[in-house]
Amino acid sequence: RPRAWRPRVWRPICSAERESDSHYLQAPMSKHFYEALLVKKGPGPLSLRDKARIRSCAGPGAGNWLEARPVCHAMSLSNPAISVAFRWRFGLALVHDPSLRCACGKQIDREGDHFQRCMVGGHHVTRHHALRGATASLFRHVAVIQEERHASSIGTVHPEDAGLRLDIVADDGHTRSSTTYFMADVTITHPVSSNQAKLNRTSRLDGAAAQDAEAAKQRTYRRASRSLAMPFFPIAVESFGRWGKSALW
């Protein structure tokens, strides 16, 4: 019997449908194993740190760097950087020399958590500025962006808010659209806290660290936002890659 004629686009469409069906079937299974892993009891249960790490790594956008194509310098990572990034994501030891100490004088832990929390040595400033620059470069595709402006230079604010510094301000001087007229501040937070109560929270709730960081930013800038009649967006990202809800608007 003669074979039925099929257009050339048939095979790609079928392949796409099979991939879609496969994803449709795998998604519930992945979610089941993910939840089972986090509530595992008995022999070999996960530590609170590992639970907080896994929840953060599973967040929206946390793994996008794994699929990014190195088409430019900004999207490229060196071999040592890739090695550290993978070890950090998988919870493997980063430091093997117990004699190493931080600039603050404290001993460096194997997992590298101290570096994420320590405010000595300038590491947190460098990391913050890198995030601010990357975020501002993305916003410049849709708005006129200025970096590091004091609230008092934008308009009239409460005297206590005059010294507030904003990482990103979008204002072209004409339109007042919510997509081209806003202010934002970025922050990086570590879900593995030295505070036991906070660690318990981040190990139980997805995105708890980013949520707390966003709430802190809102408390700081809420009054200035109202005085200036300018929308404010806190952009929080966890050190394992999960973005806060406000950053995904």
Q: How do residues 83-107 score in pLDDT, each as one tens digit?
A: 999 999 999 998 778 788 888 888 8
**What per-residue confidence (pLDDT) applies to 25?**
57
**What per-residue confidence (pLDDT) applies to 102?**
87
DSSP state of 109: P
Q: Where are the alpha helices (DSSP H) in the chain?
A: 10-38, 48-57, 79-90, 113-117, 123-139, 196-204, 208-228
**What per-residue confidence (pLDDT) applies to 66?**
87
Neighbours of 91 (CB within 10 A): 16
**What per-residue confidence (pLDDT) applies to 40?**
64
**What per-residue confidence (pLDDT) applies to 185?**
96
**What per-residue confidence (pLDDT) applies to 73?**
80
Q: pTM for the full model?
A: 0.81
| R_g over Cα of the chain | 23
Beta carbons of 50 and 34 less than 8 angstroms apart? no
| Structure tokens, 169 | 């301000």
Positions in the chain short of pLDDT 70: 1-29, 32, 40-44, 173-179, 249
**What per-residue confidence (pLDDT) applies to 167?**
96
Residue (of 140, 116, 112) closest to 126 by Cα position: 116
**What per-residue confidence (pLDDT) applies to 27?**
64
Quick: pLDDT tens for 194-215: 999 999 999 999 999 999 999 9
